[in-house]
Structure 1
Amino acid sequence: MKEQLLFSVTIEQLLKQRIGTGLNTEIVLIRSIKEYIHLFSFPLRVDAAIFLFCTKGNIDVNINLTNVKITPNNYGISVPENVIGLNSVSDDFEGFVLLLSIDYLRKISIDLTDLLPYYMHVRNNPLFKARPENIEIIISYFNLFSFLLEAENSVRKSNIISGFAISFINKIAEDVDLYELDVGEVKTKSKEYYYMRFMELLQQNFREQHNISFYSEKLSLTPKYLSSLMKDISDLSASEWINNYIVVEAKTLLKFSDMTIWEVADYLHFSNQSFFSKYFKHHTGLTPKQYRKD
């Protein structure tokens, strides 16, 4: 099989290529994103939460095969499992791209379950407009991030940046709160835990494991209860989440790789091309061949 699959990149790899300014393998801030458009022009996964903010011009990104145009005083948020690509950056673009690894968020004691309502919403709705009174504050945060990351190393540098990162995350969450998003309310800690565990398992295994029973066994739950739990929290059942991941991956490979349809089917662990084609048409209304030509 040809080795042209979806490309994943880590913060460590970005920093080794001297892309942006960072801290260890946990944070990177990029100001001159236009210089690197050739590196991000095809869909990839980045092992981090990504915050993009535009102060001038515009930046056009592709998130899960949906075009998102970020214009002045708007910001976009992408979660780690998203497939993201950079379509274009205007010549006059000014702004910031900040990446924080999930391991780093855990390290600085950001409770990811507290961010669950935002997490579920921004995966499918990544674009937000900054409130006028917050614009200068957000710009100040990014500028100070840049200053702190570029400062000389000291015994307290990491702790200073960690404290600032906590403040930044809470500020963004505060802004999203005031945006009046209809994200719903998570009812119990146990459901939050199982949601996060399911999503972690799904990111790692969706290409090989298409059946809900695999995930329910890993979580020591019945398939029926897992599906009901996911539906209660996210409005999508466990099976719908599994299908969503498979279809996005299949669409991306069909559009942006030179793999044959059979190779895509094999990579996604379908028993044969015919079964994959029927599955793809059932979920998209098009055969893989039609989608590739569209």
Structure 2
Amino acid sequence: MKDNEIRELRDEQDFKDFYLKEPPLTFCEECNAISYGYGSGFLEIAKLEELKRQQKEIGGRKNRRKFFSIVLLLEGEIEETIGHHKYLFQAGSMFFIAENQLHATEKWSDDVRGIYCMFDADYFLLCIKHQIKLNQFPFFQLDKEPYIELSEREIGMMEHLFWKLNSEKCQKTSFNDDLLTRMFLNVILLEAERIYNRKDSKEKFSLSRKDQLAAQFQLLVNTHFIEKRFVSDYAELLHVHPNYLNDVVKETTGFPASHFIQNQMVQEAKSRLLQTSDTVSMIALALNFTEYSYFGRFFKKHTGMTPLSFRKKHKH
């Protein structure tokens, strides 16, 4: 791979192949005995010290992930590039890498100890009804700092929550066990958000004008995706030309602006199919599709399944 090439990592297997010399089937021996699996998506939890032991020499190689990452650093130092900012994280830090975020691992010290957690949007989707959306957490937003510094008490709490998350993941044998695992992940994110919102930001997080525009666009999409379907709608709100907005978003995120509008719609459709008892026709109408058949074609194009097939496969 060329030094300036950006590698796309789709799932945990891509992560292992990209970063590790001899990637294990699973990071947890107990997980080999799991007899129950439910729904789509993935959750993977690993010890930082185990990742360091298997780590390839890939300092500075860029990637974009189709999933979210949380790192709890208990000992040692980690240098990472997230977006266009380079960070040196020290013991007591917790940092986050959002889906589609430009990222590069620069250097880990030999004494790192902590927890690495990866999961995708579909895994989180199946947690609870009317849940907060992942892109509403501040540390997953492009215009916010992607880390928190923890007090001694907060470190202990987070370490225990991750232990509980991994324990539930490794021992699940029923739908309720699986749901509990997903809910512990939700608790970790909610606690992290609470700490994040309490922290005193002395300096405003600085972004280039292009990065600011891409971040503003994504926030607007989160709010208006149902009634505003076209890139031109958002260009008008942001007072820029649609072609310029599309070019900036693609340069910043690796995806055209239309990808984020469509992806938000797909995630909302999935949420309503799994978390409500509304008919497919009712969901299509609520999402501003004038024809049921058009909604069905749109959903199948982006998921490979009809709305009813998706619901039958994943809803308990």
Q: TM-score, normalised by structure 2?
A: 0.56
After superposition, the Cα gap between the structure-2 partners of 1:223 and 1:64, relative to the gap in structure 1 and judged at 3 Å, is closer
Q: Could you give the per-residue CA deviations for residues 81-122 of structure 1, whole angstroms, max 9, x where no partner exists?
A: 11212222211110111112122222224322782544336x
Match of 1:34 in 2: 52
Take 1:172 and 1:127, find their aligned partners in 2: how far apart are those partners? Answer: 9
Partner of 1:120: 141
Match of 2:75 in 1: 56
Equivalent of residue 235 in structure 2, options 215, 223, 238: 223
Structure 2 residue runs of 5 or longer lacking an equivalent are 18-22, 32-36, 206-216, 255-316
Matched to 2:88, the amino acid is K
Structure 1 equivalent of residue 167 of structure 2: 147
- Cα offset, 1:8, TM superposition: 1.4
Distance 1:26 1:197 in 2: 27
Kept after mapping to 1: 8 A contact 2:148/2:195 = no
Query: CA 1:130 to 1:116, structure 2 compared with 1: closer, same or farther past 3 Å?
Result: closer
Deviation at 1:75, TM superposition (A): 1.1
Could you say which residue in structure 1 is the equivalent of 2:248? Answer: 243
Structure 1 segments of 4+ aligned residues over 6 angstroms from their partners: none
Q: Which residue of 2 aligns with 1:20?
A: 27
Counterparts of 1:150 and 1:86 in 2: how far apart (Å)? 28
Answer whether contact 2:77 2:89 (CA < 8 A) is retained: yes
Answer whether contact 1:113 1:192 (CA < 8 A) is retained. Answer: no
Contact (CA 8 Å) 2:100, 2:253: kept in 1 or not? no
CA-CA distance at 1:196 after TM superposition: 2.6
CA shift in 2, pair 1:222/1:124, >3 Å: closer
Q: CA deviation at 1:124?
A: 5.0
How large is the Cα RMSD of the aligned pairs? 3.8
Per the TM alignment, residue 128 of structure 1 is displaced from its structure 2 partner at its CA by 1.8
Residues 142-195 of structure 1, C-alpha deviations (whole Å, 9 max, x = no match): 222222222253443211201212211111111112114579xxxxxxx98742
8 Å contact 1:113–1:193 — kept in the other structure?
no
Q: Separation in 1 of the partners of 2:109 and 2:234?
A: 50
- For 1:159, the aligned partner's letter is L
Deviation of 1:217 after TM superposition, in Å, equals: 6.2
In structure 2, what is the Cα distance between the partners aligned to 1:112 and 1:149?
22
Q: SS of the residue aligned with 1:70?
A: strand
Report the TM-score, using the length of structure 1 for normalisation: 0.60
After TM superposition, list the pairs within 5 Å mapping 1:158-237 onto structure 2: 158-180=178-200, 194-196=220-222, 218=230, 221=233, 223-225=235-237, 227=238
| Count of residues in correspondence between the two structures | 215
Residues 276-287 of structure 1 aligned to structure 2 (within 5 Å): none
Change (3 A) 1:12 1:86: closer
Q: CA deviation at 1:241?
A: 8.2
Aligned 8 A contact 1:194 1:219 in 2: no
- Classify the secondary structure of the residue corresponding to 1:111: coil
Aligned to 1:8: 8
User: In the alignment, what sits opposite 1:107?
Assistant: 126
Confirm or deny that 1:74 pairs with 2:129: no
Aligned residue identity for 1:246: E
- Which blocks of at least 5 consecutive residues in structure 1 are unaligned? 184-190, 201-215, 232-236, 250-294
SS at match of 2:45: strand
- Please state how far the C-alpha of 1:238 moved relative to its aligned partner: 10
Q: Confirm or deny: 8 A CA contact 2:169 2:178 kept in the other structure.
A: no
- After superposition, the Cα gap between the structure-2 partners of 1:92 and 1:120, relative to the gap in structure 1 and judged at 3 Å, is same
- Do the aligned partners of 1:11 and 1:28 also contact (CA within 8 Å) in 2? no
**The 10-residue stretch of structure 1 (17-26 or 164-173) with the greater mean CA deviation from structure 2:** 17-26
Aligned CA distance change for structure 1 residues 156 and 46 (closer, same or farther; 3 Å): same
CA contact (8 A) 1:37 1:86 kept: no
Distance 1:244 1:166 in 2: 29
2:71 and 2:121 map into 1 onto residues whose CA distance is 17
> d(CA) in 1 for partners of 2:250 and 2:156?
37
